[in-house]
Amino acid sequence: MSEIATHAVSLTDVAAAKVKSLLEQEGRDDLRLRVAVQPGGCSGLMYQLYFDERLLDGDAIANFDGVEVVVDRMSVPYLEGATIDFADSIERQGFTIDNPNAQGSCACGESFH
């Protein structure tokens, strides 16, 4: 059995609480928050955040107060040191990613390079 890798993505307490709340609403305790980087968007790369029950070969996992965050092997270098937060204000609502590896992003904030 191979050892499971960890990653350097962090999840704030506010984001972890929101993930727990969403999972409770779904009535599921078998899901993890998967964070990935995919080609696309006007700046070249896009973030993907979604719930996933699968663990794939090469996935890296970290646990934040009971919330497992999974990053695939190809996305780990792009997300090294990134912080996932949750904002709930008039200006912005939803998950945000502060990524020190992003050299630039598009105006909408949905993609980066």
Distance CA 18, CA 71 (A): 19
Q: For residue 111, what pLDDT band results from cuts at 50, 70 and 90?
A: very low
CATH class, domain 5-98, is mainly beta
pTM metric for this prediction = 0.82
Give the residue extent of every domain in the chain.
5-98
Write the pLDDT tens digit of every residue in 47-77.
Answer: 899 999 999 999 999 999 899 999 999 999 9
**For 35-39, 46-50, 67-71, 88-92, which range has the lowest pLDDT when averaged over its residues?**
88-92
68-82-37 Cα angle (round to 5): 80
Give the three-class secondary structure for 86: strand
Using CA of residue 16, residue 17, residue 22, residue 23, what is the dihedral sign? positive
- Residue 44 pLDDT > 70: yes
